[in-house]
Structure 1
């Protein structure tokens, strides 16, 4: 009986140890890129490591709000993708943790600069320029001129033909708001947003939704990151991509480990893996046309050529700060969104 008890106790201890190990091998993954890319990243990491991934896809603004709401009891481990501004804000608010990956020496300078500006609490994983796309068939059917500049979108003939996301939920739309303020100055930037508002047919939750609607023929012009418009064009939809003549802002899509992550070691493994050229090359499988941060990763020939686009000197530190984001969003809520259309 004594031997049986000892054997049973040993078995229970071994079982408990194996169960504990099994429970440790999991990751809760918050993703703010396009759905098919998020799914591919989750499943590919599972295949590469055997770690079980629970993935949730939401826009950048929504994910930031969720991480903030969960801060007293974090449920997520790593946040990958979406515009860099909310990642910087999360770092400023202490919602994400410092981590220096051994992969850093393979990254472009702009990706490392993103990390350094946040005390190494985030890092750049891709970049992409803001712009818009339009459905050329709908444009012709409505006898509308081809837009080439931001200010073209204010013309009265485009009333009801323009769509963008809500900057409260979408990182793309917040980048648009912050870009207009930087291109035109704050007063004229908000005049632009008010004029644009009168031509908007819908504010979507997701940043890429306006150009998807244009691809389907449900909307004429969508303000998005240019790589999202390229995806629609490459998929065979009659979408033309525009780099606005005045110049434009851009994003540094980012990745952060959530402070207090329950599966911190697994989050670090994902972080390092996601910075590898192999992981970044997965973008090509889902027609994601951003410029990857790893110097050895491949950039699609269809991707917008950043060197040929008039990019502004986007102030990530200022517009990625929590106070500035709150101030601009409140001003947009109070002065733009309430206007009649």
Structure 2
């Protein structure tokens, strides 16, 4: 698909790795002549910003980040419906995301949740399961993000609830807290810390662990043995944004196979949503991962997400060091 040449500006709120944000913004600007003003924040932070700007939106498009906060934004009327002509080229899971939100958001990539560990720091009896991360030998050696700011960490919270039951999941998180040295703002920060040896284990989406390994860090990627959740990275047009026509041009362009193929240039290894876009060979194969039947509608709802985050603040965040 060729993006239509236009003029003016596009205010982009981007919730993937900053390198990928930059690659996409620069490519779109070259192809369309539209000047892109990009801000990079994690999924939870971007959702909070869009909510704070309700009535006077400054952004036009929210691209990337886990689907749950995109679905919550859709439910709260923070984003606008748009049925792109590119929907016919998308994977079923990407279209399902659009249908679940009455076309207020759409899937742009997918990735399984897991963790990575530094093989220089852990060589024997390496962790293979969620339960292994509770071992006392990992005290102060695990990093994970805060689910209030990070879509990755919220996906972990929702995954554990679906895997084990809600009370059991919070029991697990309380025990895990004994081994957590830091709750980061960004979902990918823990694996970067593991890559440099600052911590031994980072709980992240598996493609973020792969990215560290591809760059030469001693990182081994793990799909937990009990099964795991996954994200549908999503995109939404912000309701009432100042450049709505340019937002739709970005939306169609970002769903194209050519635009999604730019991910590899940014060392990003998610599974693209366009069926004609080549999946990077290094990307974790979803078919090889024991994925749960993640309930995106429930855990992306405003009520459930707000409730679980409040419980996390009360029972886990209050313990955080």
TM-score after normalising by structure 2:
0.97
Instruction: Tell me, in whole angstroms, the C-alpha distance in 2 between the residues paired with 1:168 and 1:223.
Output: 16
**Please, which of 51, 54, 63 is the counterpart of residue 37 of structure 2?**
54
Q: Say which of 180, 183, 193 aligns to 1:213.
A: 193
Q: Partner residue of 2:88?
A: 105
Q: 2:63·2:235 contact (CA, 8 Å) conserved in 1?
A: yes
Give the secondary-structure state (helix, strand or coil) at the position aligned to 2:197.
coil
Tell me how far 1:261 sits from its aligned partner. Answer: 1.0
Among residues 34, 55, 59, which one is paired with 1:76 in the alignment? Answer: 59
Match of 1:245 in 2: 225
Gap runs ≥5 in structure 2? 1-5
Given that 1:197 and 1:337 are in contact with CA atoms closer than 8 Å, whether structure 2 keeps it comes out as no
Q: 2:256 aligns with which of 276, 281, 306?
A: 276
Instruction: Tell me what 2:48 maps to.
Output: 65
Taking the TM superposition and a 5 Å limit, the aligned residue runs for 1:126-275 are: 126-140=109-123, 145-275=125-255
**Which residue in 2 is equivalent to 1:39?**
22
1:32 and 1:219 map into 2 onto residues whose CA distance is 24
Q: Deviations over 1:164-209 (max 9, x none)?
A: 0000000000000000000000111111111111110000000000
Root-mean-square deviation (CA, aligned residues, Å) is 1.0
State how far apart, in whole Å, the 1-side matches of 2:47 and 2:190 are: 21
CA distance in 1, matches of 2:315, 2:29: 46
Hey, what does 1:29 align to over in structure 2?
12
Aligned length: 316
**3-state SS of the aligned residue for 1:175?**
helix
User: Could you tell me whether the CA contact under 8 Å between 1:257 and 1:268 is conserved in 2?
Assistant: yes
Moved more, 65-74 or 24-33: 24-33
Does residue 115 of the first structure (1) align with residue 95 of the second (2)?
A: no
SS of equivalent residue, structure 1 residue 82: coil
Post-superposition offset of 1:145 = 3.0
| Distance in 1 between residues matched to 2:319 and 2:143, nearest whole Å | 16
Q: Which runs of 5+ in 1 are unaligned?
A: 1-21
Q: Which residue in 1 is equivalent to 2:283?
A: 303
Which structure is larger by alpha-carbon Rg, 1 or 2?
1
Q: Greater helix percent: which structure?
A: 1
How far apart in 1 are the matches of 2:62 and 2:152? 17
- Paired residues of 2:183 and 2:320 also in contact (CA < 8 A): no
In 1, the alpha carbon distance for the partners of 2:318 and 2:38 equals 35
Q: 1:340: how far off?
A: 6.5
1:337 aligns with 2:320: no
- For residues 112 and 65 of structure 1, the distance between their equivalents in structure 2, rounded to whole angstroms, comes to 25
Write out the 4+ residue segments of structure 1 that deviate beyond 2 Å after TM superposition: none
